[in-house]
Amino acid sequence: MSNPEAQRSGSGRPMLARTSAPQYHERLSTRSLMWSVIAALLPAAIWGVYVYGLRALLVVLMAIIASAVTETLISGSRETLSDGSAILTGLLLGMMLPPAVPWYVVIAAAVFAIGVAKWTFGGLGRNWINPALAGRVFVHFSWTGPMTRWTMPRTLGADSIAGATPLSIVQNAVHEGQALLGGPVAILSASGFPRSTLDSAVTEWLNLNVLTHIGVHLPAGYVDPFVGNVPGAIGEGSALLLLVGTLLLFSRRTISWEIPTAYFAAFAGLAWVVGGLPYGGAAFSGDVLFQLVSGSVIMVMFYVATDPVTSPLTAAGMLVFGAGAGALTFVIRAYGGAAEGAALAVLFMNAGTPLINRLTRPRRLGGRRGRRA
């Protein structure tokens, strides 16, 4: 493993390595982990570039290049680039930005992510908050205007600048007291938010062929946000393609199930139990589906909260972490801002990770719980 001091063992015999056990290794490396996540993100990134245009591609590329350059400059060598972590941070960051964001915001976000969030703590593995998330939140509060200006996807009509994402339209309506229209999708319809023909076609097909057998009727308006036919961040729109990417992550065991599952349970549970109240509904009437497919919940749940560096070590810790992040996402959304809810929730839990680690130490064989002197 370490110091494989190969030595010659007599003439004519092969060079044999002297190593300490274990003598063989899982087919796994930091690098392969990072590149799996990159590969899993690509379908959603490509979709973003398709629907939001070339501008989106430029933003993503800029974020990647700026991250890579910052990483190289700070680490002083190109070596740390090869682990793929800086590329991944750049890609994630680019995918979390609006398509029309000015170039200097992209650069600022990348430099903050790598330079401040990652390297002030000593680089990969030492940072305690997720760099991409930190970069995104940093520019969100520094350039809130450009960070909340969204582009209409080409699949919904012209290449125009739209005012807001579905989630922010709904939240503004709730804040302005226009909530008693029944629910988020009803609010969107009333506000004249466009809907694609794909949405109605798929909804109709689903209702006729699948859902009718289980006695469920799906209203129109969910398919667009699910496939990514809405204004939003470049790579966060398509819940569908992000979910497709998770197949790779789970099959290769790149991420464990604990964090997404606990996140989902806490977030969806709260959305169901109390999520209906702002719309004049009763308890247990929340629109879970809308909450899940809007904003950056899917992205954050599977790709950001699962960052190994900034999440807890044990399975129990991961459950606590995921549940905390899910619950906080709901709370921030309900009482605070819109799109950044999930991001802030995970940042907050990142800060709590050392504490969670301390509280969820594994129990040692023979009884005693691990303790530190």
Partner 1 sequence: MITLPRRPRGGVHPENRKAVTRSLSIRNAAVPSRCVVPLLQHAGPAAVPAVRVGDRVREGMLIGRAADSAAANVHAPVPGVVTGTATLTLADERSCEAFVIDLEGEFDRLGKVAEPIDWQRKSVRELLRGIRDNGVVGMSGSGNAVHRKLNLPRAAEINHLIVNGIENEPYLSADNRLMIEMTDGVLEGTRIAERILRPQRVTIALQKDSTQAIRKLRRRIRERGLDYAVRALPVNYPQGDERLLARAISGREVSAERETSEIGVMVSSVATMYAVFEAIVYQKPVIERIVTLSGAALRSPANIKVRIGTPIAELIAECGGFVESPEKIVVGGPMMGHTIIDVSTPVTKLTTAVLALTAAEIHHGAETGCIRCGRCVRACPVGLEPTTLYKMLEHTELEQAQAAGLFDCIECGCCGFICPAHIPLVEGLKNGKLAVRQHGGRM
Q: Where does this chain bind partner 1 (CB under 8 A)?
A: 1-2, 4, 7, 9-10, 13-33, 83, 123-126, 256, 308-315, 317-318, 361-368, 370-373
Whole-number minimum distance, CB 26 to partner 1, in Å?
A: 5
Whole-number minimum distance, CB 311 to partner 1, in Å?
A: 8
Nearer to partner 1, 75 or 191 (CB): 75
Whole-number minimum distance, CB 135 to partner 1, in Å?
A: 19
Q: List b or e across 162-178, with b for residues whose CB sees 16 or more CB atoms inside 10 angstroms.
A: bebbbbbbbbebbeeee
Nearer to partner 1, 33 or 139 (CB): 33
Whole-number minimum distance, CB 64 to partner 1, in Å?
A: 20
> For residue 54, what are the contacts with CB-CB under 8 A and spacing of at least 6?
none
From first CA to last CA, the distance across the chain in angstroms is: 30
> Do residues 64 and 91 make contact, with C-beta atoms less than 8 angstroms apart?
yes
Whole-number minimum distance, CB 28 to partner 1, in Å?
A: 5
> Do residues 135 and 113 make contact, with C-beta atoms less than 8 angstroms apart?
yes
Nearer to partner 1, 40 or 139 (CB): 40
Whole-number minimum distance, CB 25 to partner 1, in Å?
A: 4
Spatial distance between the Cα atoms of 19 and 27, rounded to a whole number of angstroms: 18
Nearer to partner 1, 20 or 209 (CB): 20
Spatial distance between the Cα atoms of 280 and 205, rounded to a whole number of angstroms: 30
- Cα 46 to the center of its chain, rounded Å: 16
Nearer to partner 1, 131 or 228 (CB): 131
- Please name the helix (run of DSSP H) or strand (run of DSSP E) that holds residue 151, with its range, or none: strand 150-151
Nearer to partner 1, 67 or 291 (CB): 67
Q: Read off the tokens for 101.
A: 């964001």
